[in-house]
């Protein structure tokens, strides 16, 4: 029997398991520190994007196969170490994603009210780490830093009316706080221009269909229309949306301003954030942004930096600090230790990007481990955890948690999530 441990039950983890489980004589343990599976699907993908979240049904199919086991509520690093796992399994695959924010390195970034997207997204998605975030939503202005899809998610969630969350699984604390908030002016700050955005067309187009909010683009920021021809088709569609927003400004109570060529250089306020100081930029021949010295201020009671994520390092595991990911040779970190998904590539690409990635790493593992080295595997982990009085949450347990979440949902919502580990465990009688 060959034994593989996958650390992390998000898309990269389950796509890797999907490939591995097709092999003979193999047992795969998918370990997660939360009692609930699916990682980014549950706590990263926007709650109003249920069609994207539906991919979890595919992971469920993998989780329910005979040779795959979910080992929930076991923290690698404290409950069990990487070295112990490498000793127990023929291969250990780190599919830990990139759950930490890249730091916003400007003066004032540590003022209360400056929040990274990992925390804010985790808050509205009910991640237990961020359930108590309580973001300050008491001022009309919010600055969202970054020009990627996460910035779009954040701006859209801030702008939506309670009715527009129908059918979503946004958690109650966020639903209530957003409904009561006086947020009226959302600024999306991009340090470069419309041709340098990292926003996909579908997500950008959604901003044009909001009930009480309208996107605004300064036509002066747009390059000549003829220059769009050199863009790849997806980008061209995105830029077409920006052109439409610029050409048809619609008066609605909530504004979403795209501030292009706008680099935040400082955050100011008396004991909490009150404004962001932004420097106008120009681009050089390599399309890098440079400050012009001209600055302006944006009033904001909340600043959310959506400037990318990083994988938390694990002591003893080689790490590329500049890129915020594990150091690996195409996925091989050390003998018996692998990385997949964002932990391998860094935080880019959609959920689907992890499918070929998981397949490739799965095949690489199968090739490397051959018939296995007769390691202790699953029974070994069970003995070690029992020794430490740790009772993992099983997939069957998770399905009971899920049933309770579905039963608690009102008004056509798919589920009302538990937002604390204690509540999740209570649902299974622990």
Residue ranges that bind ligand NAP, judged by CB under 6 A: 145-151, 153, 190-192, 196, 198, 200, 203, 306-309, 347-350
- Least distance to ligand NAP from the beta carbon of 72, Å? 25
- Least distance to ligand NAP from the beta carbon of 180, Å? 26
- Least distance to ligand NAP from the beta carbon of 1, Å? 37
Q: Tell me if residue 48 falls in helix, strand or coil.
A: coil
Between 119 and 198, name the residue whose CB sits nearer to ligand NAP: 198
Between 282 and 350, name the residue whose CB sits nearer to ligand NAP: 350
Residue 96: name the closest of 214, 157, 10 by CA. Answer: 10
User: What's the chain's length in residues?
Assistant: 430
Between 112 and 349, name the residue whose CB sits nearer to ligand NAP: 349
Between 2 and 192, name the residue whose CB sits nearer to ligand NAP: 192
- Least distance to ligand NAP from the beta carbon of 194, Å? 11
Q: Tell me if residue 189 falls in helix, strand or coil.
A: strand
- Least distance to ligand NAP from the beta carbon of 118, Å? 9
Between 111 and 390, name the residue whose CB sits nearer to ligand NAP: 111
- Least distance to ligand NAP from the beta carbon of 148, Å? 2
DSSP 155: H
Between 71 and 150, name the residue whose CB sits nearer to ligand NAP: 150
Structure tokens at 357: 């990635």
- Least distance to ligand NAP from the beta carbon of 373, Å? 37
Are the C-beta atoms of 3 and 375 separated by less than 8 Å? yes
- Least distance to ligand NAP from the beta carbon of 102, Å? 6
- Least distance to ligand NAP from the beta carbon of 25, Å? 36
Rounded CA gap, 207 and 198, in Å? 15
The 3-state secondary structure of 226-281, one letter per residue: HHHHHCCHHHHHHHHHHHHHHHCCCCCCEEEEEECCEEEEEEECCCCCCEEEEEEE
Between 196 and 244, name the residue whose CB sits nearer to ligand NAP: 196
Between 50 and 200, name the residue whose CB sits nearer to ligand NAP: 200
Between 72 and 99, name the residue whose CB sits nearer to ligand NAP: 99
Sheet holding 91-94, edge to edge: 68-71, 26-31, 2-7, 91-94, 337-339, 332-334
- Least distance to ligand NAP from the beta carbon of 192, Å? 5
- How far from the centroid of its chain's Cα atoms is residue 71's Cα? 22
By beta carbon distance, the residue nearest ligand NAP is 148
| b/e code 380-398 from CB counts within 10 Å (16+ = b) | bbbebbeeeeeebbbbebb
| Segment (H or E) for 43 | helix 40-43
φ/ψ region of 171 (left if φ > 0, alpha if ψ in -120 to 50, else beta) reads beta
Burial of 408 (0-12, 13-18, 19+ CB in 10 A): middle
Are the C-beta atoms of 242 and 217 separated by less than 8 Å? yes
Between 323 and 388, name the residue whose CB sits nearer to ligand NAP: 323
| C-alpha gyration radius of the chain | 23
């Amino acid at each position: 029997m060959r034994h593989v441990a996958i650390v992390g039950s998000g898309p990269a983890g389950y796509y890797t398991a999907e490939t591995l489980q097709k092999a003979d004589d193999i047992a795969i343990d998918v370990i997660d520190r939360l009692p609930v599976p699916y990682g980014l699907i549950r706590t990263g993908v926007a709650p109003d994007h249920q069609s994207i979240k539906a991919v979890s049904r595919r992971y469920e199919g993998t989780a329910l196969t005979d040779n795959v086991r979910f080992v929930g509520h076991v923290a690698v690093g404290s409950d069990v170490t990487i070295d112990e796992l490498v000793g127990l399994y023929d291969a250990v695959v780190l599919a830990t994603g990139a759950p930490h924010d890249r730091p916003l390195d400007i003066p004032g970034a540590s003022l209360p009210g400056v929040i990274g997207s990992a925390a804010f997204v985790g808050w509205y998605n009910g991640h237990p780490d961020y359930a108590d975030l309580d973001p300050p939503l008491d001022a009309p202005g919010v600055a969202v830093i970054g020009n990627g899809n996460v910035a779009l998610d954040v701006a859209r969630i801030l702008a939506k009316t309670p009715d527009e969350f129908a059918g979503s699984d946004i958690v109650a604390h966020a639903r209530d706080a957003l409904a009561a908030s006086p947020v009226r002016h959302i600024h999306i700050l991009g340090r470069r221009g419309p041709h340098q955005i990292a926003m996909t067309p579908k997500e950008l187009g959604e901003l044009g269909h909001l009930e009480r909010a309208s996107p605004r683009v300064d036509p002066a920021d747009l390059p000549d229309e003829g220059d769009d021809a050199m863009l790849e088709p997806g980008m061209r569609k995105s830029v077409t949306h920006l052109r439409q927003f610029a050409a048809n400004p619609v008066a609605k109570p909530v504004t979403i301003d795209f501030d292009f060529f706008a680099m935040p250089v400082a955050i100011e306020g008396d004991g909490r954030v009150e404004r962001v100081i932004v420097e106008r930029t120009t681009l050089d021949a390599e399309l890098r942004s440079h400050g012009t010295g001209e600055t302006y201020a944006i009033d904001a009671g909340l600043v959310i930096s959506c400037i990318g994520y990083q994988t938390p390092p694990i002591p003893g595991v080689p790490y590329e600090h500049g890129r915020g990911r594990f150091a690996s040779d195409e996925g091989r970190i050390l003998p018996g230790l692998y990385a997949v998904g964002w932990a391998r590539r860094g935080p880019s690409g959609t959920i689907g990007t992890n499918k070929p990635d998981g397949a490739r790493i799965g095949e690489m593992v199968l090739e490397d481990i051959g018939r296995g080295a007769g390691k202790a595997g699953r029974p070994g982990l069970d003995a070690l955890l029992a020794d430490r009085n740790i009772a993992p949450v099983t997939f069957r347990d998770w399905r009971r948690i899920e049933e309770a979440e579905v039963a608690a949902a009102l008004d056509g919502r798919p589920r009302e999530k538990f937002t604390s580990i204690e509540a999740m465990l209570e649902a299974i009688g622990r």
